[in-house]
Structure 1
C-alpha cells in the first residue's frame, strides 16, 4: 500500500483545503528510484518559515491518533483547529493505492480531536459512511443487527468505525481494512531540534544507546557515521548490560554522547530510525538536516531514499534541490496554502542538466 493523495482543511495554519498529490509524477527518465508503481516515493518539501511544512507533516499523521496504538505526540491537539474557525471541524482526506484498488478514507474531528464523521470507499464504492447521526454500510460485507447499527449511527463515544470493523469481523489478510491497519501502524514521523519527538511505529520510548548495545550494532553505527559524515569513532566493545556507548580518543575512554556534536547526535537518532524503517510504510522527517553540513545532508538523503518505504523530509537547504539527488516532480514547495512540485511551478521544461537550485533562487518557480 502507498499514500497517493492527502488533503486537509481548517487544520492549524491551513484555513482553506490544501492537497498534496503524489499520484501524478512526470515522465523524467532519471532518478526513477523516487517513483514506485506510478506513485512518488521520495521527496523534499521546501517553503518559507511559517509556510506550513511542519503542519503538513503532522496533518498527514493525524490518522495515527485514532487508528493506531503506537506512540503519539502528547501535545498534538493543542492549537489543532485553525484559530479563525474554532468551531468548525478539521477535515482529512487520504487516498491509498493497494494492489490495483484505490482506497479513500475521509473523516473530520472537532477541536479536541474527537471524530465527528468518517467514511471509507474502495474504487468509488462505499464501504461505510457516518455523518450527522446518519450511518450507512455495505451490508454484504458487514452484516449487522439493528441495535449495532443504531449505536454506530449515534456513536456517542466517537469510536472509529474502521477500528470497530477490524475488531468485530473476521477479515482476510488482503482485505483493504487490514491493509489500511498495517499501513497506519507502520507510519513514522520524527524530528530532532530542541527536543526529540516522534509519532508512530514504536509503542514505547527507546534509549538509543541501549538499542545499539543490545543489538550489537556499535561497529555498524561507527561505519554509518563514517560513511555519511567521514567522522571516525572507535567504540569500546560494550557489555550487554551497559547503558551508554563509550569511545576512545587518544587512549582515553569517554562517553560518546558527552563529546558528540549536536549534528552527530542527530545522526545517531537517524541511525536508530533507519534500523527500524524496514518495518515502515510512510516516513516524514521534519527539518531532518537542521544540524547537518550541506554535504552531509545530501549523503543522508541518499541513504533515506534508498529505502523501500515512502520517505519525505522538509528542509530549508536548497543545496538538496538538485537533479543529482532527486527530480523536479519530487521537490515540493509549500506556500499560500498550496503545495506543488517544481515541475508544476513553471512553464519551462526542466531537464537533467538544469540547475534547479539556481532557478529557484531566481524566483523561476511560482506556486
Structure 2
C-alpha cells in the first residue's frame, strides 16, 4: 500500500506538499476504510485551482518511467512550477508491504528525463543513481552482482534496469522490490471530466459502448444504471458502420451516446473501469479525479459505496460535501487540500469527532479550519 507521498516543484506545487495516509485514529466504525493503519479509501476536498488533479498527476508520474502502461503525456505539459528556481521536480513515495517499508525517491526535469533515483528497503539503500554526479549506479540487490553498474547515457530507470536484466535471489529485500514494481504496474488514474483519459494499468483505448457489447454486459450495465437510480432499458442498434449501445423505448431504439446526459455518460465511463476493479482485480491503487462532477448527490453516495467494496486502495477527489458523512467513510479518511498542505478532518480540528457527528454540517460551519 502507498503510505505517504511527497512532491515539490511540480506544476502548481512550489514547495513540498505531503499526503500522509498513516495518520489514522482508532475509530470503531467503518474499519474497512483503514487497513493495517493505512487509509485504504480517501476522499480529497479542495477549492478549484488548489491542485487536486495535479496531485493525481504527481502520484502517477511514476507510471511513465517504471511501466509500459498508458502515461497520458498530454497531462504533463508545464511540468515544473514556474515560480521555483530549481530545474528538478522531486517525488518521494513510501510503501508498506507485509510490514516492510519501501521508499522510492527521484527527480526529473520533465516527464521523460530522470535525474536521480533511490530505492530504500527497510532503511537500507537497495539501489541509487544521481546522474548529476555520475552515470555509475549503486546496486545492492542480491542476485544483481553481475549487472553493469555504469548506465552511461541511457535514460532508463534504474529500477527498470534491475528488473529487466537480473535474476534476483529469493529474499526479503528482493520480494519487497518485486511487490513495489507489481504495485506500480497496477495503479490506475481516470477522470470523468473529459473522454476516457486514464493513466496506468493498461495500454490503448476502447469505445465504451463497444467494450460493454463485446463483453456481453449490455443487460448488466442496464441493471447497474437501474441500481444507481437511472431507470432505463438498454439494447443494441445496428448502424451502417457498427453495432452501437442503445436505449430501448418499447422497441424504438436510440443510440445511447447520442441522447444520454453528461452524468449518464460519466456513469458509463465509471462502469467501464468498475468492471476492471471488481473481484480478483490486478488494480492496486485507484485515483478518480472529480468522480462525481456530473452526479446527483444520491448517485455520488452510491458510487462511493461501490468503490468501498473494491480491494484497491483508492483516492477520490470531489467538491461534493453531501458525501462527507460518517455513514460512508470516517473523519481520518476525508482530507482537506490547501495550496501548501493536505490533512484529514481529524487533524483540522481540536474537537473529538464521533460517529454521530454531522461532519458535513461542521465543515460548512467552519469547524475544520485547522
Which interval holds the TM-score relative to the shorter structure?
over 0.9
Structure 1 position 186, deviation (Å):
1.0
**Structure-1 residue corresponding to 2:217:** 217
Change (3 A) 1:138 1:288: same
Shift of the alpha carbon at 1:27? 0.5
Are 1:87 and 1:111, in contact at CA under 8 Å, matched by a contact in 2? no
Give the 5 Å matches for 1:254-293: 254-277=254-277, 278-293=281-296
Gaps in structure 2 of 5+ consecutive residues: none
Any conservation in 2 of the 1:213–1:238 contact (CA below 8 Å)? no
Measured in 1, the distance between the counterparts of 2:205 and 2:86 equals 34
Distance in structure 1 (CA, Å) of the matches to 2:211 and 2:312: 22
Secondary structure at 2:197's aligned position in 1? strand
Output one character per residue of 1:13-42: Cα deviation in whole Å (capped at 9) or x when no partner: 111111111123211010111111221110
| Aligned residue-pair number | 360
1:156 aligns with: 153
Distance 1:194 1:236 in 2: 24
CA–CA distance in structure 2, aligned partners of residues 125 and 307 of structure 1: 33
Q: 1:256 to 1:139 in 2, by over 3 A?
A: closer
The secondary structure found in structure 2 opposite 1:244 is: strand
- What is the CA–CA distance in structure 1 between the aligned matches of 2:112 and 2:368, rounded to whole Å? 36
In 1, the alpha carbon distance for the partners of 2:165 and 2:217 equals 41
Q: CA deviation at 1:135?
A: 3.0
Partner Cα separation in structure 2 for residue 111 and residue 36 of structure 1:
34
Structure 2 counterparts to residues 1-367 of structure 1, below 5 A: 2-85=1-84, 87-111=86-110, 113-131=112-130, 132-133=133-134, 135-138=137-140, 140-144=142-146, 148-149=148-149, 151-152=150-151, 155-171=152-168, 175-236=175-236, 242-277=242-277, 278-367=281-370
Segments of structure 1 that go 5 or more residues without pairing to the other structure are none
Determine helix, strand or coil for the equivalent of 2:336. strand
Cα pair distance change 1:327/1:238, threshold 3 Å: farther
| Post-superposition CA distance 1:202-261 (Å, at most 9, x none) | 21101111111111111111111111124222324989x954112311331111111211
Q: Secondary structure at the match of 2:6?
A: strand
Q: Distance in 1 between matches of 2:197 and 2:234?
A: 28
Q: Which runs of 4+ in 1 moved over 4 A?
A: 236-239
Three-state SS of the structure 1 residue aligned to 2:183 is: helix
Whether contact under 8 Å (2:22, 2:39) holds in the other structure is yes
| Matched-pair contact (CA < 8 Å) for 1:213–1:242 | no
* TM-score normalised over the length of structure 1: 0.93
**Aligned-CA RMSD value:** 1.9
Report deviation, 1:112. 5.2
Q: TM-score if structure 2 supplies the norm length?
A: 0.93
CA 1:252–1:112: 2 relative to 1, 3 Å: closer
Distance across 2 between alignment mates of 1:196 and 1:140: 41
Alignment CA distance shift 1:140-1:181 (3 Å): closer
Any conservation in 1 of the 2:6–2:19 contact (CA below 8 Å)?
yes
Distance 2:337 2:364 in 1: 15
